[in-house]
Structure 1
Amino acid sequence: MDAEFWHSRWAEDRIGFHLTDVNPLLVKYWPQVNAQRDDRVLVPMCGKSEDLVWLAGRHNDVVGIELSDIAVKAFFAENLYTPLVTGVGSEHVYSFDEITIYQGDYFTVPVAPVDVVYDRAALIAMPQTMRERYVERLLSLVKPGGRILLVTLDYPQSQMDGPPFSVPEAEIATLFNGCKITHLARDDADENHPRRRQGVERFAEEVWLIEV
């Protein structure tokens, strides 16, 4: 998945991964993270997610990283926020009250360390060849003792092209080796789920707590 792939998805409005409401898994499992109001929260590859607004209602410093300038501008416009914009070239920083979004390459934007991470759509957006690099970068941004609330998918990869990709339990254990991993939930889709109707024999959403 190169940068042009994601720029094209946003430019063509092919954003089926975008949720128009706050993710109910975030609401349900965020208390497990035990995040304090002054904890710095990171949402990698945040798009224009309403989850940022929900988190900003509970924390003083919510940071997003997003490649697409279309997504970032849409987030602020749709929420009627007028951000302060700084930066040069292909990377900019958009700030409004508790929310700061770094628009640029996840692997290079200069983000200060954070206390907590919420990842709903970043790891599963990565093909297997990029996941180790993604996690290495993520862990480098988390302070010692930090926590990650991670949402993943589990399905037979051979039966559906990603993204979003399947990241099974064994791979989670390998990627976050050395961290404490707690499996919080698994929600198996029934036969009426769109993916199941497309012929995928199983499709599950899983939630993890990773303690660094």
Structure 2
Amino acid sequence: MDAEFWHSRWAENRIGFHLNDTNPVLTKYWPRLNASYSDTVLVPMCGKSLDMTWLAEKHAQVIGVELSEIAVRAYFSEHLYTPTVIPLGNGQTLYEFDEVSIYCGDFFATKIDPVDVVYDRAALIAMPPSMRKMYVEQLLSMVKAGGRILLVTLDYPQAEMDGPPFCVTGEEVAQLFSGCQITHLERDEADESHPRRQRGLSRFAEEVWLIELP
């Protein structure tokens, strides 16, 4: 993952990956995690996602990790929140407001107490193949035994489009999360009207997974 790539995307406001509403996948499948109000939620590569606010209405602590300071500051300013800002060293800064905490900096350098549940809509698919194993190892180290992950991936012919977002097949999900219980919740196959299909992809699907740690 090239940090400068993501910094430039946010600096130039080229953030087509950002959704202007809560992701319907989150609202539909979050109940499958059976998460209580007291469960701590982790959202890696959170950007300025409105999903953070939806989760904060249902959980006492929601922790985001985001590389771009522009994205973090935008999240709080667009919600009219004034966060507490705590420099942590090692290039990281913690922003806190009520239930939401966002660590701004390198995900791989982030140190937090293990969480109960994870929502990964945009992190794994942002990783090139060479970094996915390292990312999943880091992610799993941040989750308690018995924790659950709601994971969203994309499936398309990688040769037809440069990532990110990258294609992560079901076979790769099984390999990356070997040892966990994996449930395939949904495959949403895009028709020809989908923007990605109109840009030349022969097929494009969004897939949703429930990952349960032993």
Cα deviation for residue 195 of structure 1 reads 0.9
Within a 5 Å distance, the mapping from 1:77-116 to structure 2 comes to 77-89=77-89, 90-116=91-117
Root-mean-square deviation over aligned CA pairs = 0.7
- Poorly superposed stretches of 4+, deviation over 3 Å: none
Q: Distance between the aligned counterparts of 2:199 and 2:23, measured in 1?
A: 23
Q: Distance between the aligned counterparts of 2:51 and 2:121, measured in 1?
A: 10
Q: Which residue of 1 aligns with 2:16?
A: 16
SS at match of 1:75: helix
Q: Which residue type is aligned with residue 10 of structure 1?
A: W
What's the % identity of the aligned pairs?
68
SS at match of 2:19: coil
Cα deviation for residue 111 of structure 1 reads 1.5
Q: Which residue of 1 aligns with 2:41?
A: 41
Q: Distance between the aligned counterparts of 1:148 and 1:14, measured in 2?
A: 28
Within a 5 Å distance, the mapping from 1:47-86 to structure 2 comes to 47-86=47-86
Q: Which residue type is aligned with residue 4 of structure 1?
A: E
Q: Distance between the aligned counterparts of 2:171 and 2:111, measured in 1?
A: 31
> Are the equivalent residues in 1 in contact too, given 2:125–2:154 (CA < 8 A)?
yes
Q: Distance between the aligned counterparts of 2:34 and 2:58, measured in 1?
A: 12
Q: Distance between the aligned counterparts of 2:200 and 2:76, measured in 1?
A: 38
Q: Which residue type is aligned with residue 157 of structure 1?
A: Q
Residues 122-142 of structure 1, C-alpha deviation per residue, up to 9 Å, x if partnerless?
000001010000000000000
Q: Which residue of 2 aligns with 1:169?
A: 170
Structure 1, unmatched stretches of 5+, are none
> Are the equivalent residues in 1 in contact too, given 2:88–2:94 (CA < 8 A)?
no
Q: Distance between the aligned counterparts of 1:27 and 1:91, measured in 2?
A: 30
Cα deviation for residue 143 of structure 1 reads 0.2
Q: Distance between the aligned counterparts of 1:143 and 1:107, measured in 2?
A: 17
Structure 2, unmatched stretches of 5+, are none
> Are the equivalent residues in 1 in contact too, given 2:47–2:72 (CA < 8 A)?
yes
Cα deviation for residue 88 of structure 1 reads 4.5
SS at match of 2:108: coil
Cα deviation for residue 158 of structure 1 reads 0.4
Q: Which residue of 1 aligns with 2:160?
A: 159
Q: Which residue type is aligned with residue 63 of structure 2?
A: V
Cα deviation for residue 84 of structure 1 reads 0.5
